[in-house]
Amino acid sequence: MSGIVGGVGTRSGVIGTMSAGTITSEVVRSPDSMFYIPMQNLNASGSKFTDTEVKLNSTSYSGLRSHLKYRYFTVEFDIKGESSTNHQGFMWGNTSTTTVQAGNSTGWRTTWQQAGMHWVRECNANSGVGSSWNDGNPSDNAWHHHRIQANVNGTTYVFTDGTLRWQGAYQQEGYVGLVCYTGNVWFKNIQLRGWVIDV
Q: Tell me: the pLDDT tens digits for 51-91? A: 677 888 887 888 888 878 888 888 889 999 887 788 889 99
**For residue 46, what pLDDT is reported?**
72
Rg (CA), the chain: 15
Instruction: Identify the band that residue 37 occupies on the pLDDT scale cut at 50, 70 and 90.
Output: low
CATH assignment of 23-194, among 3.20.20.60, 2.60.120.560, 3.30.390.10, 2.60.40.1930: 2.60.120.560
- The answer to which of 26-40, 46-60, 131-145, 167-181 has the lowest mean pLDDT is 26-40
DSSP secondary-structure letter at 88?
B
- Which of 14, 101, 96 has its CA nearest to residue 60? 101
**For residue 13, what pLDDT is reported?**
31
Q: Does the pLDDT at position 192 exceed 60?
A: yes
Which one-letter amino acid corresponds to residue 173? Answer: E
Q: How far apart are CA 111 and CA 121, in angstroms?
A: 7
Looking only at Cα atoms, what is the longest distance across the chain?
Answer: 46
**For residue 65, what pLDDT is reported?**
83
Average pLDDT, the chain: 74
- Which of 113, 82, 108 has its CA nearest to residue 171? 108
Cβ-contact 91, 56 below 8 angstroms: no
- Which of 31, 26, 30 has its CA nearest to residue 14? 26
Position with higher pLDDT, 22 vs 134: 134
Instruction: Identify the band that residue 9 occupies on the pLDDT scale cut at 50, 70 and 90.
Output: very low
